[in-house]
């Protein structure tokens, strides 16, 4: 099957050029000046991209499909969540397999492989959440790297759930330094937070807003500092996930200035939403995630945008972890598990679908970053950071034809009425974004076109990832 995308502006992290793109089977095989080659005659499909941007498919390296968490399961399955990702111009996800206390990490990996197998609309890989560090897990980290799971998420938050002690973190970091993998860190001081949470509940402060108030940014900054110094001690590459706070970014910036392999992502919720969204009574439960949304007046958001401009932040992922607000016929009670006690609200927000359009708005639409940087933070660097480049993350000869035709001139209004995620609200309800996803190809197959989905569950393949290609 040969496909030509003609007349568009091809944008990669480094180039912006008028070019036709020739796809043969699953791969990009040629790029040429518009109309300079008569590719249309011998092709099976022609996509007219005139006036549109032709970009590498988005890569979201932080999703939690079907995650068992907070007494329920994230409401998007691999089938519904990966399809919603495709609708939003994301053609690869890296999700988190889970090892819980007392269980083997390899068993956790196999379980998540089974959940995803035959269900994904787009290609997918896994990180591993290591919830129990012991002799066996440390050996399994080597086995997982051989399976293409080259990054391990640890938690300084959630005592009693996924929490690791500093000693366990040191052990895992020593192993990562040895086998070339990356430690991903949820950097919040969960022990201190739990004290503040118990004090707030004892005062009768039970509304969702107190979720944000009891997780102050200083405790994200402190944990980020500690994670960085443990990485310095052990020599492990460190990637701070879902960074939300100026204090944490300052620590990352300092470490990077010291020449360390320290990296960080932020997420759209921290760039667009704020602590005040947690107000409005229990409605605020829709915005409960950890780290929490930060007070708008404290300047975190512009600091994060600046970090994206200076590459102190390298990636925007979503931390997609949706829970329904109203009771769901199959999933039951989700956000409302925390009525009367904010600490019982399942932590997480939906976001896999609108990421590319939202970041286009905040970056290009509002003049903060150029179009190359938009592609870089949403696709190219994620591929390099997690060992997928140049198969993914660019439009080049030999790369997978994961391509999005993006229309910068057709706005869209984000709404739960029109989104495809399996969740009953949008955190961005009513927001108008200036550009929108038009056509999506996954390994050469058109899966979104003319406002219709043309793919099928199982189209997506498991990606055996290499180690990070972003290290100094
Ligand atoms: O609130 C969040 N972030 N939920 C998902 C789990 C995690 O910590 O990433
Ligand atoms: Zn986390
Ligand atoms: Zn997460």
Q: Each residue of 240-273: pLDDT tens digit? A: 999 999 999 999 999 999 999 999 999 999 999 9
pTM: 0.98
* Residue minimizing CA distance to atom 3 of ligand 1: 290
- What is the distance in A from the centroid of ligand 2 to the CA of 430? 27
- Region 108-123: mean pLDDT is 98
Query: What does the pLDDT average to over 211-233?
Result: 98
Task: Give the pLDDT band (50/70/90) at residue 158.
Answer: very high
Ligand 2 center to 297 CA (angstroms): 24
Residues with CB under 5 A from ligand 3 (ion): 319
Q: How far apart are the CA of 348 and the centre of ligand 1, in A? A: 5
Query: How remote is the C-alpha of 315 from its chain's centroid?
Result: 8
User: Region 123-141: what's the mean pLDDT?
Assistant: 97
Mean pLDDT taken over the chain: 98
What is residue 109's predicted lDDT score, i.e. its pLDDT? 98
- 25 CA to centre of ligand 2 in angstroms: 38
Tell me what percent of the residues of the chain surpass a pLDDT of 90: 100
Query: For ligand 1, what atom is nearest to the CA of residue 290?
Result: 1
Question: Which ligand is in closest contact with the Cα of 349?
Answer: 1
Which pLDDT score is estimated for 291?
Answer: 98
The mean pLDDT value for 120-144 works out to 97
Q: Give the residue range(s) of CATH 3.20.20.140 domains in the chain.
A: 57-372
Domain with CATH 2.30.40.10 in the chain: 2-55+394-453
pLDDT at position 235? 98
For residue 72, what pLDDT is reported? Answer: 98
Average pLDDT over residues 48-62: 99
- The reported pLDDT for the residue numbered 104 is 96
Q: Which ligand has an atom closest to residue 292 CA?
A: 1
How sure is the predictor about 451, in pLDDT bands with cuts at 50, 70 and 90? Answer: very high
| Cα–ligand 3 centroid distance for 320 (angstroms) | 7
Residue in 75, 289, 292, 294 to alter for ligand 1 test, most ligand atoms within 8 A of Cβ: 289
For the segment 408-444, what is each residue's pLDDT rounded down to a tens digit? 999 999 999 999 999 999 999 999 999 999 999 999 9
For ligand 1, atom 2, name the residue with the nearest CA: 348
How high is the pLDDT of residue 438? 98
**Mean predicted confidence (pLDDT) in 354-379:** 98
Instruction: For residue 322, give the ligand nearest its CA.
Output: 1
Query: pLDDT tens-digit profile of 379-400?
Result: 999 999 999 999 999 999 999 9
Q: Which ligand is nearest to the CA of 347?
A: 1
The pLDDT of residue 112 = 98
Mean per-residue pLDDT for 165-182? 98
pLDDT for the residue 329: 96
pLDDT at 268: 99
Interval 94-110 mean pLDDT? 96
| pLDDT, tens only, 4-30 | 999 999 999 999 999 999 999 999 999
Distance 449 CA to ligand 1 centre (A): 32
Q: Check residue 246 and give its pLDDT.
A: 98
pLDDT given for residue 188 in this prediction: 98
pLDDT at 418: 98
Three-state SS string over the chain comes to: CEEEEEEEEEECCCCEEEEEEEEECCEEEEEECCCCCCCCCCCCEEEECCCCEEEECEEEEEECCCCEECCEECCCCHHHHHHHHHHCCEEEEEEEEEECCCCCHHHHHHHHHHHHCCCCCCEEEEEEEECCCCHHHHHHHHHHHHCCCCEEEEECCCCCCCECCHHHHHHHHHHHHHHCCEEEEECCCHHHHHHHHHHHHHCCCCCCHHHHHCCCHHHHHHHHHHHHHHHHHHCCCEEECCCCCHHHHHHHHHHHHCCCCEEEEECHHHHHCCHHHHCCHHHHHHHCCCCCCCCHHHCHHHHHHHHHHHCCCCEECCCECCCCCCCECCCECCHHHHCCCHHHCCCCECCCCCHHHHHHHHHHHCCCCCHHHHHHHHHHHHHHHCCCCCCCCCCCCCCECCEEEEECCCCEECCCCCCCCCCCCCCCCCCEECCEEEEEEECCEEEEECCEECCCCCCCCECCCCCCCCCC
215 CA → ligand 2 middle, Å:
13
Atom 8 of ligand 1 has which residue's CA nearest to it? 290
Which of 64, 66, 68, 187 to mutate for ligand 1's pocket (most ligand atoms within 8 Å of CB)? 64
User: Which atom of ligand 1 is nearest to 289's Cα?
Assistant: 1
Q: Measure 186 CA to ligand 2 centroid, in angstroms.
A: 5
Please state the rounded mean pLDDT for residues 221-230.
99
Please give the CATH topology (third level) of the domain spanning 2-55+394-453: Urease, subunit C; domain 1 (2.30.40)
Q: What is the pLDDT of residue 83?
A: 98
The pLDDT of residue 393: 99
Percent of the chain exceeding pLDDT 70 equals 100
Closest CA to ligand 1's atom 9: 319
Q: Each residue of 275-317: pLDDT tens digit?
A: 999 999 999 999 999 999 999 999 999 999 999 999 999 999 9
Q: How far is the CA of 18 from the centre of ligand 2 (A)?
A: 40
Q: What is the pLDDT of residue 51?
A: 98
What was the pLDDT predicted at 374? 99
Q: What is the pLDDT of residue 13?
A: 98
Mean pLDDT of 113-129: 98
Ligand 1 pocket test, pick from 162, 242, 287, 349 with the greatest ligand atom count within 8 Å of Cβ, gives 242
Pocket of ligand 1 (CB under 6 A): 64, 186, 242, 289-290, 319, 321, 347-348
CATH 3.20.20.140 fits 57-372, yes or no: yes
């Amino acid at each position: 099957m040969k496909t030509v995308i003609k007349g568009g502006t091809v944008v990669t992290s480094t180039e912006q050029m008028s070019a036709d793109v020739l796809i043969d089977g699953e791969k990009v095989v040629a790029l040429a000046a518009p109309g300079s080659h008569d590719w249309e005659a011998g092709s099976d499909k022609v996509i007219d991209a005139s006036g549109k941007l032709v970009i590498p498919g988005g890569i979201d390296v932080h999703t939690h499909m079907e995650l068992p968490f907070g007494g329920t399961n994230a409401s998007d399955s691999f089938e519904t969540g990966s399809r919603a990702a495709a609708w939003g111009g994301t053609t690869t996800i890296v999700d988190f397999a889970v090892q819980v206390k007392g269980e083997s990490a390899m068993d956790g990996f196999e379980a998540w492989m089974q959940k995803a197998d035959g269900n994904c609309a787009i290609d997918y890989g896994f990180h591993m959440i290591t919830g129990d560090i012991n002799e066996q897990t440390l050996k399994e980290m080597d086995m997982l790297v051989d399976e293409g799971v080259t990054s391990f998420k640890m938690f300084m938050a959630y005592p009693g759930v996924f929490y690791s002690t500093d000693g366990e973190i040191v052990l895992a970091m020593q192993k990562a330094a040895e086998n070339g993998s990356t430690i991903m860190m949820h950097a919040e001081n969960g022990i201190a937070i739990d004290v503040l949470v118990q004090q707030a509940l004892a005062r009768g402060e039970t509304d969702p807003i107190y979720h944000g108030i009891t997780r102050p940014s200083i405790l994200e900054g402190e944990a980020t500092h500690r994670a960085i110094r443990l990485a310095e001690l052990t020599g492990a590459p460190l990637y701070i996930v879902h960074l939300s706070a100026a204090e944490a970014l300052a620590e990352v910036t300092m470490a990077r200035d010291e020449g360390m392999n320290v990296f960080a992502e932020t997420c759209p919720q921290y760039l667009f939403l704020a602590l005040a969204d947690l107000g409005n009574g229990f409605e605020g439960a829709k915005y409960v995630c950890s780290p929490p949304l930060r007070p708008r007046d404290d300047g975190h958001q512009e600091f994060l945008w600046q970090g994206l401009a200076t590459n102190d932040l390298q990636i925007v992922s979503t931390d997609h972890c949706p829970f329904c607000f109203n009771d769901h016929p199959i999933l039951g009670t989700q956000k409302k598990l925390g009525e009367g006690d904010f600490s019982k609200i399942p932590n997480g927000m939906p976001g896999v679908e609108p990421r590319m359009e939202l970041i286009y708005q905040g970056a290009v639409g509002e003049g903060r970053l150029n179009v190359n940087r938009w592609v870089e933070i949403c696709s190219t660097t994620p591929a390099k950071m997690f060992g997928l480049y140049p198969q993914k993350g660019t439009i080049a000869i030999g790369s997978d034809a994961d391509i999005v035709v993006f229309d910068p001139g057709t706005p869209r209004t984000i709404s739960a009425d029109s989104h495809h995620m399996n969740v009953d609200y949008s955190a961005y309800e009513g927001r108008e974004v200036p550009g929108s996803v038009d056509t999506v190809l996954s390994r050469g197959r058109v899966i979104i076109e003319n406002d219709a989905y043309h793919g099928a569950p199982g189209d997506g393949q498991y990606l055996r990832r290499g180690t990070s290609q972003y290290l100094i």
